[in-house]
Structure 1
Amino acid sequence: MIDGFRRADIEGAAAWLLDEARRRGAAEADFLWSWGVRNVFSLCDGEPEEDRVGSSCGLGLRTLDGAGRQGVAFVNSLDRDRLSHLLDWSLHNCHQSEVLEGLGLYRGESAADVDLELEDPALYGLSPRDRLQFCRLMSEAACEADGRIVSVRSSSWDDGWGEGFYASSEGFASWHRATFAACGVAVVLADGDATEMGGSGGEARSLSQLSPAAYALEAVQKTALVLGGRPLPTGRYTLVLDPEVTADIVDALGELFLASNIRRNSSLLRGRLGEVIGSSRLTLVDDGRLPGRMGSSLVDGEGVPTGRTTLLDGGRVVSFLYDLRHARLEGRASTGNAARGVGTLPDVGTNNLFLLPGTMKAGDLHRGAEGGIYVTELLGLHTLDTVSGEFSLGIKGAVLRDGLPSEPVAGVTVAGTLLDLLAQVESLGDDLRFSGSSGGLTLVIRDVALAGL
Structure 2
Amino acid sequence: MTQSPETLCHALIDAARKAGADAADAMAADGSSLSIEVREGKLEHAERSEGTDLGLRVFIGQRQAQVSSSDSRPETIAAMAERAVAMAREAPEDPYAGLANPEQLAKGWDLAALDLVDPADEPAPAALQDDALAAEAACQAIKGVTQVQSAAAGYGRHTVYLATSTGFAGGYTRTGRSTSCTGISGTGTGMERDYDGDSRTYQTDLRSPEDIGRTAGERAVARLGARKPKTGSYPVLFDERISSSLIGHLLSAANGAAIARGSSWLKDSLGQQVLPAHLSVIEDPHRPRIAGSRPFDGEGLPTRRRSIIENGVLTGWTLDLASARKLGMQSTGNAARGIGSVPSPSNWNIALTEGDQSRADLIAGMGTGLLVTSLIGSTINPNTGDYSRGASGFWVENGEIAYPVNECTIAGNLIEMLMRIVPANDARSYLSRVVPSLLVEGMTLAGN
- Please report the TM-score for the alignment, with normalisation by the length of structure 2: 0.92
Alignment of 1:272-287 (within 5 A): 272-287=269-284
The reply to whether residue 251 of structure 1 matches residue 214 of structure 2 is no
Aligned-pair distance for 1:435? 9.1
Number of the residue aligned with 1:52:
47
Q: Match of 2:202?
A: 206
The Cα shift of 1:346 comes to: 1.1
Give 1:79's match in structure 2, choosing from 73, 97, 102.
73
User: Are the aligned partners of 1:424 and 1:447 in contact in 2 as well (CA < 8 Å)?
Assistant: no
TM-superposed deviation, 1:367: 2.6
What is the identity, as a one-letter code, of the residue corresponding to 1:51? A
Structure 1 residue aligned with 2:86: 92
Give the whole-Å Cα distance in 2 for the aligned partners of 1:435 and 1:206: 11
Shift of 1:56: 2.3
Determine if the alignment matches structure 1 residue 226 to structure 2 residue 223: yes
Corresponding residue SS for 1:420? helix
What SS does structure 1 have at the residue aligned with 2:363?
A: helix
How far apart, CA to CA, are the structure 2 residues paired with 1:272 and 1:218?
Answer: 41
Deviation at 1:313, TM superposition (A): 2.3
What CA distance in whole angstroms lies between the structure 1 residues aligned with 2:127 and 2:317? 43
The one of 425, 433, 441 aligned to 2:428: 433
Cα pair 1:238 1:447 within 8 Å, conserved: yes
Aligned residue runs from structure 1 range 281-430, under 5 A: 281-381=278-378, 383-400=379-396, 404-425=400-421, 427-430=422-425
- Is the contact made by 1:70 and 1:94 (CA closer than 8 Å) also made in structure 2? yes
SS in 2 for 1:405: strand
Asked if the contact 1:111/1:304 (under 8 Å) is kept, the reply is no
C-alpha distance in 1, partners of 2:344/2:417?
Answer: 29
Report what 1:197 is aligned to.
193
* Equivalent in the alignment of 1:181: 177
Which amino acid counterpart does residue 73 of structure 2 have in structure 1?
Answer: D
Q: 1:148 Cα shift?
A: 0.9
Q: How far does the alpha carbon of each residue in 1:287-331 deviate from its partner, in whole angstroms, 9 at most, with x for none? A: 322211111111111111112232222332211111112122223
Cα pair distance change 1:292/1:402, threshold 3 Å? farther
| In 2, Cα distance between equivalents of 1:351 and 1:136 | 33
* Paired amino acid for 1:86: M
Structure 2 CA distance, aligned partners of 1:367 and 1:5? 61
Establish whether residue 165 from structure 1 lines up as the match of residue 167 from structure 2: no
| One-letter amino acid matched to 1:258 | N
Deviates more, 1:298-307 or 1:326-335: 326-335
CA distance in 2, matches of 1:240, 1:267: 25
Query: What displacement does 1:152 show?
Result: 0.3
Q: Cα distance 1:111–1:173, how it changes in 2: closer, same or farther (>3 A)?
A: same
| Structure 1, gaps ≥5 residues long | none
> Match for residue 63 of structure 2?
69
Deviating more after overlay: 188-197 vs 33-42: 188-197
Pair 328,192 (structure 1): closer, same or farther in 2 beyond 3 Å: closer
- Code of the residue aligned with 2:276 in structure 1: it is S
CA shift in 2, pair 1:114/1:161, >3 Å:
closer
CA deviations over 1:408-451 (Å, ceiling 9, x no partner):
122332222111211221x2122222796433311111222322
Q: CA deviation at 1:24?
A: 4.3
User: 8 Å contact 1:226–1:408 — kept in the other structure?
Assistant: yes
Where structure 2 has 5 or more consecutive residues not aligned to the other structure, the ranges are none
> Counterparts of 2:413 and 2:98 in 1: how far apart (Å)?
38
CA spacing shift, 1:96–1:297, aligned 2, 3 Å: same
Cα displacement (A) at 1:20: 4.2
Residues 191 and 18 of structure 1: CA distance in aligned 2, closer, same or farther (over 3 Å): closer
Q: Is the 8 A contact 1:244 1:433 kept in 2?
A: no
Q: Which moved more, 1:267-276 or 1:179-188?
A: 267-276
- Name the CA shift for 1:52/1:23 in 2 (closer, same or farther; >3 Å): closer
Are the aligned partners of 1:202 and 1:436 in contact in 2 as well (CA < 8 Å)?
no
Counterpart selection for 1:130 from 116, 127, 130: 127
Determine helix, strand or coil for the equivalent of 1:364: helix
Alpha-carbon RMSD across the aligned residues, in angstroms, is: 2.2
Aligned residues: 443
- The CA distance in 2 between the partners of 1:303 and 1:400, in whole Å, is 49
Is the CA contact (8 Å cut-off) linking 2:25 and 2:58 kept in structure 1? yes
Query: 2:367 aligns to what SS in structure 1?
Result: coil
Which one-letter code corresponds to 1:185 in the other structure?
C
- Aligned-pair CA distance for 1:365: 2.5
Q: Quick one: structure 1 residues 410 and 23, their matched pair in 2 at CA, closer, same or farther if it must change by over 3 Å?
A: closer
1:272 to partner: Cα distance: 1.9
1:30, distance to aligned residue in structure 2 (A): 1.0
> Which stretch shifts more, 151-160 or 396-405?
396-405
Secondary structure, aligned partner of 2:243 = helix
Runs of 4+ with deviation above 4 angstroms:
401-404
* Mapped partners of 1:111, 1:332: distance in 2: 24
For residues 46 and 251 of structure 1, the distance between their equivalents in structure 2, rounded to whole angstroms, comes to 38
How far did 1:403 drift?
A: 5.8
Question: Offset at 1:44?
Answer: 2.2
Q: Among residues 127, 136, 154, which one is paired with 1:139 in the alignment? A: 136
Is residue 63–residue 72 contact of structure 1 (8 Å, CA) maintained in 2?
yes
Partners of 2:15 and 2:78 within 8 A in 1: no
2:30 pairs with one of 17, 32, 35: 35
Aligned to 1:443: 438
Matched residue of 2:216: which SS? helix
Cα displacement (A) at 1:55: 1.2
Deviation at 1:103, TM superposition (A): 2.2
Instruction: Please say if residues 225 and 405 of structure 1, whose CA atoms lie closer than 8 Å, have aligned partners that are also in contact.
Output: no
- Identity over aligned residues, as a percent? 26
- Kept in 1: contact 2:145–2:186 (CA 8 A): yes
- Secondary structure of 2:328 counterpart: coil
Q: Report Cα offsets for 1:111-167 as digits up to 9, x if no partner.
A: 422421111122x3301110111011111111223x111110000112110111111
Pairwise CA distance, 1:101: 1.7
